Structures are given as C-alpha cells and as structure tokens.
Structure 1
Amino acid sequence: MNPAIVLRCAGHPVAHYLTRPDLAADHAPRPYLHPVTTLAGVPVTEVLPVDHPHHLGAGVAVADVAGHNFWGGRTFVRGRGPTVLANHGVQRHDGFALRDPDRLVEQLSWTAADRVLLREHRTMAVVPLTGTAWALDLTFALTNVSGAGLSVGSPATNGRPGAAYGGFFWRAPREAAAPAVFGADADGEEQVHGSVSDWVALAGEGWTLVFAGATEETRRDPWFVRAAEYPGVGSSLAHDRRLPVEAGGTAVRRVVTVVADGRLDRAEAASLVRKAVGTTVRETVRTPVRKAVAG
C-alpha cells in the first residue's frame, strides 16, 4: 500500500487519498478518500464498516459494468438475490497528470477478467468556502476501451427495487443516531432517496455534507440515500435502466460535496452549494494542463 496523499484546504489537511490500497479481491480494490474531515477535524467518512465491509470512504464504485462488480461484496442476480461471485474488478491507479496540495488529476484503468474495460480520467479539487466549510469537486470520465459496446447496471436494474447505487458514493460515519436527511425541496430519507434534485444533504453530530450535481447530465441522475440502515449518499448511473456506453464512448459525471462544521439548515446548505459550484467552475477553467507524473 502506498502512503496516502494529503489534500489541503488553505493549508489545513482535510482529506487523505489512497491510490493502491491493500484489499482483498472481493472488496473490488479501488482508490478512495479516507479520512475526510471538516475544517475543525471532525471525520465524515468511514471505511470497512462491519455493516458493509466493502464501503470505502468517498470515491467511485459501480456494482455492474458488463456483469463485473466494481462495488465489492455480493452481486445481485435476478431470480437468485445477493450472490457470491468471482466477478470483482479492480480500479488500477495508472498515474497523475497533476498532483498539487489541493488538486489531483488521475488516470485509472478498470480491469476485470484480465481485460481493461474502461479508462478513467478523475479530477479532485479542494476549494475553501468559509471559515467552517470547504468543498470537494470530483469529476470522473469513463471511456469504454473494451472494443465493444458495454453497459453499466445496478442491483435495481438487475431486479432489486430501490437499490440503484453505482457511480459517485460517500460512506459517512455511523453515529448513535441516524443523520438528518433533506434536499432542496424535501425532507427525510424516504422522500429524498430516488429523487432528482439539485442537491441533497446529510447532517450528523457536528457536521453536514451537501452533495450537488454540477452538470446537467449529473443532475438528471437520481440520488441514492441511506440514513437509517447506514449513512451514505451516492449518485445512480443506472436507476431504472442500464446506461449504455458505446465502444470508444465516454460517460462523464461531476459531483461537488460541501463539507461543513455544524448542522446546516436548508437555506445555509443551498447558499454554500451555490458558492461551491460557482467557485469550482472558475477554478477548473483557470487550472493549466501539466505533464503526467508518476503516482
């Protein structure tokens, strides 16, 4: 396992990124962010929890890419339910095109059964917002290099209603009480889960996470939300139908996450989302392209 890369906000360490974690095959090994903290140092991610040992902080995970599991754990099979299969893939870190204290541009290969199915271009940027909040801007672009058309699915598209997880995913820490859940125009896990909303929020003990789709395509993806069973939020690349990616085609998504100290209300969350998305757009435009470096 390589040492974690530390991302900083105005000089303060706020996230650690592991590019080559030492994980068993059934965890679908992949890079992930953990720990991620608020500016006051409150942890807001969790890895390898007892309830779902394949949850790995914050990152990108997909349960079904052409039948291969890049999420970890059991695979939901129509007519059989959750099934242990030897179908796990690996997201291999190939290197960095940019490695700054507050920004990473990474190249990855999604490999399964000794074949590279997807090449990924991933960008992560840390942006200061206020004295008590910062934002993580994460974009991933998945290009089909398999030589044939493939599609992305989820347990929901394979027959398990309400389980359309796959894409960006953030596992928050379990606490004595479930976090509060709210969106731009809804309250509670039942109302927010599966909704198409500009943003959704989890608020725990001394922290709030606000997740926002930052492109039109990303905003069309419904949100996957859990609070009572475990705390986690993700996007749904394949909510009610599989997402096709033609040979040579690319699927791109961008999620901006506000990480704040304290419990935000709806107005405060909306204000920080507006600031975060606007700021990260300008930062992306200004950032120069740099040559690749080993990572």
Structure 2
Amino acid sequence: MSAEHADALALVQTHRLELGGQAVAEYVWRPHVPNTLSPRPFLHPVRTLSGVEVTEAMPTDHLHHLGASLAVPDVGGANFWGGRTYVRGRGSVPLPNHGVQRHHRWEARTEAVLAHELRWNRFDGTALLRERRRIAARPVDDRAWALDFRYSLQNLTGEPLVISSPGAKGRIGAGYGGFFWRARRGLRSVRILGPGVAGEERLHGARTDWLALAAHGPDPWTLVFVPDAGQGDPWFVRGDDYVGVGPSLAWSEPLTALPGQGPRRRIVTVIADGALGAEAIEGLVETVAAKRES
C-alpha cells in the first residue's frame, strides 16, 4: 500500500465490533478513499480470535478491493465496485461513473451489532438505492466467531433499475458483484472447499450451500461463507492471483429492480483459527445453522 493510500485510510471514521471485550473487526462506516475506488463502508481489519487479520484493503493489485464490503460493478450505469468499467465490445475501460455509498442514519450501534441506512448515489449525486444494512458479531466456539451480514436494497428511482456485471455483459466468468470478501493470503497457501468438492475451477460459478477458504502456513485461518438457504447465488471465487469470495447478484444475467423494490440477502461468515478440513467445516456450518437468528 502506498503512503498516499495509507494516509487516506488513516482519515476514516470507524466503529469497533467486539465479542467479550475483544476487538474482532473494524467497520469503516465513513471512508475517505479516492472516488475511483467507489467509496463505500467496509470491514477491515477483520481478525480471528487469536488476532490474525483475514481481510485486505486497497492492495496494490486491486486498489478498489476494500476488505469485506457490498460492491456492485453496475447499477443503472454507475460503478459501485471501483476501478474500470466493463463495456461490451471494448473491454474494461476507465470511466467517470463511480458511485458512492453514503451513511444516512444509524438504527443500532452497539459493541456487537451495527445497523444503518445508506444511500447509493450516482456520480452526479442522484440517489439510486436506499439500503438497510445490519452487521452482527456472534460467538461460535473457542476457535471461531461469526460475522452476520444482511442487507436490503430499494430502488429510489421511478423506473426499473438494472443491476449488472461484466459476466452479464458477456465476459465469461466475471459475474462478480454483491457481498465480497478480499482475504489476506500473505505467505500462506489457500484451499477452496465446498460441500463434497474442492478447487476454484469447480466452485467458481457453482451454487453450493457454503464455501470455505482454508489458509495453510504461518498463522493459519479458515473462512466459511454460509448464505441464507434458498438464495442460490453463484459463487465468484479467486484463489490464484489473489484470494476473494462473494455470492454474485448478477452472474450471467442482469437483475432488474422495479421502483420501490430490490434484492435482499444475508450471509454469515465464520472466522476461525487454524486451517480446517472438510469435516470440521461442516461442523461449523451446522453450528451456525443451529444458532442462526431470524
């Protein structure tokens, strides 16, 4: 990270999420980042119970990757992902179309629960979406805790609003957009696991009940992503040039939100110490399902 971008991160306004008095994550609810990164609230750093950081923000390979955040590459022509915009027939090009997610008001703000309303504003300041977001830190066991992230989007315009991705515009396998987690690999090797299956090539674009990243090496960790049952969004997965995971809102087809309507999603991420195997991960998934609140 450059000194300039480090200074930008130093100006943010944050709220600490804690469990039992221990800080497990910082929520940057009012960021100060360049407009080309599509400024938005994000979680970073997120830590295991032993203090290992498992998110990465503004890495040199993709400056617009901001820890764990809600990012969509195209909402009515506005880029809420950051970086370049994919244009059919031209590829990814820099455009002055970056949107901003702005905090509007708090609904809850405690050590373990945050809830607020946001506005997704287009580059000219027009509000496209109202979002209600709720983030909660929950205990799991002595090696893991869970981050419960849920959101609902409402179209504020008087016309249908198209939510899209490069994948929906013809770029095969690039259907990213939605909740996205940029993980910190460091010197570790990372295995990508799903129910009865493993590997990026088999899980990228797949629809599974959960997906896990298990990092082997110094200070090992495991992340287990568990969406609500029935959501069925395909996974966008990267494990080679960088490590990132997110369920896609518009994998190969755009999603259209009518006026006053929009998608609602929930995903629970288990953050565990140690590089866990499939059996231990399944156990965590069952524990999360048993503890999941309505």
TM-score tier by shorter-chain length is: over 0.9
Distance apart, 1:185 and its partner CA: 2.0
Q: What is the 5 A alignment of 1:176-215?
A: 176-204=187-215, 205=217, 206-215=220-229
**Ranges in structure 1 where 5+ consecutive residues have no aligned partner:** 286-295
**Ranges in structure 2 where 5+ consecutive residues have no aligned partner:** 1-10
Which residue of structure 2 lines up, in the alignment, with residue 263 of structure 1?
275
Q: What SS does structure 2 have at the residue aligned with 1:61? A: strand
Change (3 A) 1:213 1:79: same
Which residue of structure 2 lines up, in the alignment, with residue 290 of structure 1?
none
Which residue of structure 1 lines up, in the alignment, with residue 8 of structure 2?
none
Q: Is the 8 A contact 1:215 1:254 kept in 2?
A: no
TM-score, normalised on structure 1?
A: 0.93
Residues 1:154 and 2:160 aligned together: no
Q: What is the 5 A alignment of 1:1-295?
A: 1-112=11-122, 113-204=124-215, 205=217, 206-217=220-231, 220-281=232-293, 285=294
Aligned letter for 1:266?
A: A
Change (3 A) 1:92 1:67: same
Q: What SS does structure 2 have at the residue aligned with 1:190? A: helix
Name the Cα RMSD after superposition: 1.1
Q: Is the 8 A contact 2:13 2:31 kept in 1?
A: no
What CA distance in whole angstroms lies between the structure 1 residues aligned with 2:197 and 2:259?
Answer: 39
Percent sequence identity is: 47
Distance apart, 1:138 and its partner CA: 0.3
Q: Is the 8 A contact 2:209 2:229 kept in 1?
A: no
Aligned letter for 2:202?
A: Q
What CA distance in whole angstroms lies between the structure 1 residues aligned with 2:12 and 2:292?
Answer: 28
TM-score, normalised on structure 2?
A: 0.93
What CA distance in whole angstroms lies between the structure 1 residues aligned with 2:171 and 2:188?
Answer: 27
What CA distance in whole angstroms lies between the structure 2 residues aligned with 1:277 and 1:6?
Answer: 25
Q: Is the 8 A contact 2:237 2:246 kept in 1?
A: yes
Distance apart, 1:54 and its partner CA: 0.4
Q: Is the 8 A contact 2:24 2:48 kept in 1?
A: yes
Distance apart, 1:2 and its partner CA: 4.4
